[in-house]
Amino acid sequence: MNFEHYIAAVENFPEEGVTFRDITPLMADGPAFRAAISEISEFARQKEVDIIVGPEARGFIVGCPVAFDLEVGFVPARKKGKLPRETATIDYGLEYGKSTLQIHKDAIKPGQRVLIVDDLLATGGTIKATIDLVESFGAEVVGAAFLIELEEFAAREKISEYEVFTLLKY
């Protein structure tokens, strides 16, 4: 399937100089969305994962159906102040701005095999922060999977020790 056909390029969003890769047309097309999720699920199955972790918000959109497909749990890494119970916290930078992610302290057990799933890999700030946060639980990050990789940022160099799966590269 030509997944690129379902990704809209929006110039100068959310700020001047950024080409935003919008996945909402892919999400709006049932067969295309399902096919894209299935490709990530196929990768995830080989990794024998215990849980999927997805960073807010688009990591939920891609990560939850993968978890459902594999019949494993999904753990949200949420932006600061959204989770109601005790959390582990990490600050990070991304292509446009800075943010903080939190995971509930009882959500991941030491030794669990974790796959991190998100929509897009740009500078790698989000994935690196999510990896560090997951590893702070004593869990094993068995890989990371994305719909889109922006190769100009060379994020793979930041996470070269991890297996990275991406459906589309720009």
Ligand X SMILES: Nc1ncnc2[nH]cnc12
Which residues are designated catalytic? 58, 95
Nearest approach, Cβ of 149 to ligand X (angstroms)?
11
For ligand PRP, the binding residue among 95, 133, 137, 159 (CB under 6 A) is 95
CA distance 130 to 5: 29
Per-residue binding string, ligand X, 59-88, x by CB under 6 A, is ------------------------------
In a 3-state reduction of DSSP, which class is residue 32? helix
CA distance 1 to 148: 15
DSSP structural state of residue 57: T
Binding at 56: pick from ligand PRP, ligand X, none (beta carbon under 5-8 Å per type): ligand PRP
Binding at 20: pick from ligand PRP, ligand X, none (beta carbon under 5-8 Å per type): ligand X
Binding at 57: pick from ligand PRP, ligand X, none (beta carbon under 5-8 Å per type): ligand PRP
Burial 143-164 (b: 16+ CB within 10 A, else e): bbbbbbbbeeeebbebbeeeeb
Q: Does 141 bind ligand X (CB under 6 A)?
A: no
Strand order in the sheet with 97-104: 87-94, 97-104, 73-79, 51-55, 113-121, 140-149, 164-169
For binding to ligand PRP (CB under 6 A), which residues are involved?
55-59, 94-95, 99, 118-126, 155
For binding to ligand X (CB under 6 A), which residues are involved?
18-21, 94-95, 120, 122, 150
